[in-house]
């Protein structure tokens, strides 16, 4: 049963010898660089899926930050430093909680 298997595979390409024996009139080759239709569809689906995941994380945080800046702008009793400290703390906490590891 083991006699049917290949014991050693030697792949040596000797193109000089091949062309000397074959002597073709024309040698051409083609490098296919076009994406196939299924590859294009998979690429588009992957990009849309990745964009969806990224936007799910970024958009809610961005909206909350914009609301926080807008809301704090109308409260004149607060100090400017306190406002920026709150915004920076909020952003830092969001980044810390978004850690995907």
Domain spans of the chain?
10-97
Tell me which DSSP letter residue 34 carries. Answer: S
Model confidence pLDDT, tens digit, residues 24-65 = 777 777 777 777 888 888 999 999 999 999 999 899 989 988
Percent of the chain having pLDDT more than 70? 77
Token code pair at residue 74: 């109308």
Helix-strand-coil split of the chain, %, nearest 5: 65, 0, 35
Please report the pLDDT score of residue 52 as a whole number: 93
Give the distance between the most distant pair of CA atoms in the chain: 93
- Indicate whether 71 pLDDT > 70: yes
Dihedral (Cα; 77, 65, 98, 85), 10-degree rounding: -30
Comparing CA positions, the residue from 97, 99, 96, 94 lying closest to residue 61 is: 94
- Indicate whether 6 pLDDT > 80: no
Tell me which DSSP letter residue 36 carries. Answer: P
Please report the pLDDT score of residue 76 as a whole number: 56
Please report the pLDDT score of residue 65 as a whole number: 86
The Cα 55–Cα 57 span in angstroms is: 5
Average pLDDT over residues 55-78: 79
Average pLDDT over residues 65-78: 72
């Amino acid at each position: 049963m083991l006699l049917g298997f290949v014991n050693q595979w030697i792949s040596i390409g000797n193109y000089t010898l091949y062309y000397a024996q074959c002597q073709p009139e024309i040698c051409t080759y083609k490098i296919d660089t076009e994406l196939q239709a299924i590859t294009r569809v998979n690429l588009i689906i992957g990009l849309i899926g990745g964009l969806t995941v990224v936007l799910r994380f970024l958009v809610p945080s961005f909206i909350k930050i914009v609301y926080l800046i807008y809301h704090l702008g109308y409260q004149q009793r607060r100090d400017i430093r306190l406002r920026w400290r709150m915004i920076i703390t909020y952003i830092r906490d969001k980044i810390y909680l978004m850690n995907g590891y």
